[in-house]
Chain A
Amino acid sequence: DGGITQSPKYLFRKEGQNVTLSCEQNLNHDAMYWYRQDPGQGLRLIYYSQIVNDFQKGDIAEGYSVSREKKESFPLTVTSAQKNPTAFYLCASSTRGGWTEAFFGQGTRLTVV
């Protein structure tokens, strides 16, 4: 089945640690995105990538890093520099340039303990 998969579903991190969230898609989409969702707020863009080996900062990129070595994969690292990392993280993919066909993953809930 085609789709976009995030793992893990739940993640706990100690303060001061880096943690990496996985996002994989087999939809042959060129573009991939990472969003953060907090209660009572709209989704906010962290990073996005329109093509392999290229990515751009979104609106709230500080404290996060990404890589795009393969078309299918777009992992997000939450670094210790992110001061408030507890949130629900959503990955999405779309056809390049239009968001006319776009799908979200099931999300990863990250909690700092």
Chain B
Amino acid sequence: KNQVEQSPQSLIILEGKNCTLQCNYTVSPFSNLRWYKQDTGRGPVSLTIMTFSENTKSNGRYTATLDADTKQSSLHITASQLSDSASYICVVRGGSGGGADGLTFGKGTHLIIQP
């Protein structure tokens, strides 16, 4: 069965510090991987989408990496701000063991930025 495992489950860092969130997946064949940011009580908002041939993609202070060989992705946040406090969800598309929509969702990493 397809799985997307995210770590850590939760993370607390001080404002201005950097952090890295991890996403490991077993989805095969792979189509694309997307990172979402979800503020409490709001819908997820896409940060980046990565396909098989892409290793790194940036969106402002967010940088996602993808290693399709090891089936790992990371989301690096630089110079964190209070507004970065949210849940970050990794979603992988592809394979035959995911949801009926072809997607497998991670459970998310809950990030808290402290002043």
> A44, A59, A90, A98: which contacts B43 (Cβ < 8 A)?
A90
**In the complex, are the beta carbons of B43 and A107 less than 8 A apart?**
yes
- The interface size bin for chain A is 20 to 34
**In the complex, are the beta carbons of B89 and A58 less than 8 A apart?**
no
**In the complex, are the beta carbons of A41 and B107 less than 8 A apart?**
yes
**In the complex, are the beta carbons of B89 and A45 less than 8 A apart?**
no
**In the complex, are the beta carbons of A100 and B49 less than 8 A apart?**
yes
**In the complex, are the beta carbons of A48 and B42 less than 8 A apart?**
no
**Cβ of A102 under 8 Å from chain B:** yes
Query: From DSSP, what is the main secondary structure of chain B's interface residues?
Result: strand
Chain B residues within an 8 Å CB radius of A41 = 107
**In the complex, are the beta carbons of B100 and A107 less than 8 A apart?**
no
> B31, B32, B44, B99: which contacts A104 (Cβ < 8 A)?
B44
Docked Cα-Cα span, A91 to B80, in Å, equals 29
Q: Which parts of B69-106 form the interface with A (CB within 8 Å)?
A: 89, 93, 99-106
Known: A42-B89, A99-B93, A100-B32. A106 touches B42 (CB 8 A): yes
> A33, A42, A106: which contacts B101 (Cβ < 8 A)?
A33
**Cβ of A28 under 8 Å from chain B:** no
> A45, A102, A103, A104: which contacts B100 (Cβ < 8 A)?
A45
